[in-house]
């Protein structure tokens, strides 16, 4: 049942990205895609097996390091010009947006508890674990606790004091 509710919630959160809509979103003012040679990624980043994944980062170098995805999906973007792509790996999904012919990170969603944030929070952690790792600088909307920093947002859906969804998202206008 938890898996089903997670799928429904993720569908609702990603619906604007994967369906037709009007308008053209852009990275938030002051948030440029991460360029090679930068001092390092800003904002909330996910790390797996030595691969650092930051929102708004160019996707191609990340995909080369991660290797072949278990699943792949693409659709015409409603939020950006071009295509949006979803790459599924063990434990997480990468969602991308295209700008000027280059794919960038839009979101990363945890699929199971085999992965964790750099601060050690994983699916089924407690709300207390989230607050201990990230503090009280969150925005709460219903059961969603969101932290925003440097063009990225890290969100935790907490149901019955248990994290049931973790998502990194690129902040757009």
- Asked, for residue 39, whether it belongs to a domain, the answer is no
- Asked, for residue 12, whether it belongs to a domain, the answer is yes
Element containing residue 163 per DSSP (H, E)? strand 162-170
Range of the domain at 107: 2-21+45-170
Residuewise pLDDT in 10s, the chain (173 residues): 444 344 434 443 443 443 334 333 434 333 444 443 344 567 999 999 999 999 999 999 999 999 999 999 999 878 767 889 999 999 999 999 998 889 999 999 999 999 999 999 999 999 999 999 999 999 999 999 999 999 999 999 999 999 999 999 999 86
Residue 74: which CATH number?
2.60.460
Q: Total structural domains in the chain?
A: 1
Distances 9 to 50, 156, 157 between C-alpha atoms, Å: 29, 12, 9
- Asked, for residue 34, whether it belongs to a domain, the answer is no
- Asked, for residue 29, whether it belongs to a domain, the answer is no
Sign of CA dihedral 158, 164, 167, 173: negative
- Asked, for residue 166, whether it belongs to a domain, the answer is yes
Distances 64 to 16, 42, 51 between C-alpha atoms, Å: 28, 21, 10
């Amino acid at each position: 049942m938890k898996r089903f509710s997670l799928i429904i919630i993720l569908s609702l959160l990603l619906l604007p990205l994967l369906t037709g809509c009007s308008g053209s979103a852009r990275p938030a003012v002051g948030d440029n895609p991460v360029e090679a040679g930068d001092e390092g990624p800003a904002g909330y980043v996910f790390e797996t097996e030595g691969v650092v994944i930051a929102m708004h980062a160019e996707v191609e170098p990340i995909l080369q390091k991660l290797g072949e995805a278990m699943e792949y999906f693409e659709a015409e973007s409603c939020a950006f010009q071009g295509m949006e792509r979803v790459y599924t790996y063990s434990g997480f999904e990468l969602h991308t947006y295209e700008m000027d012919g280059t794919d960038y990170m839009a979101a990363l969603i945890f699929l199971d508890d085999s992965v964790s944030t750099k601060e050690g929070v994983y699916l089924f952690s407690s709300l207390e674990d989230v607050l201990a790792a990230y503090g009280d600088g969150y925005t709460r909307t219903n059961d969603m606790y969101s932290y925003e920093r440097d063009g990225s947002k890290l969100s935790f859906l907490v149901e019955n004091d248990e994290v049931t969804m973790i998502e990194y998202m690129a902040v757009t206008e």
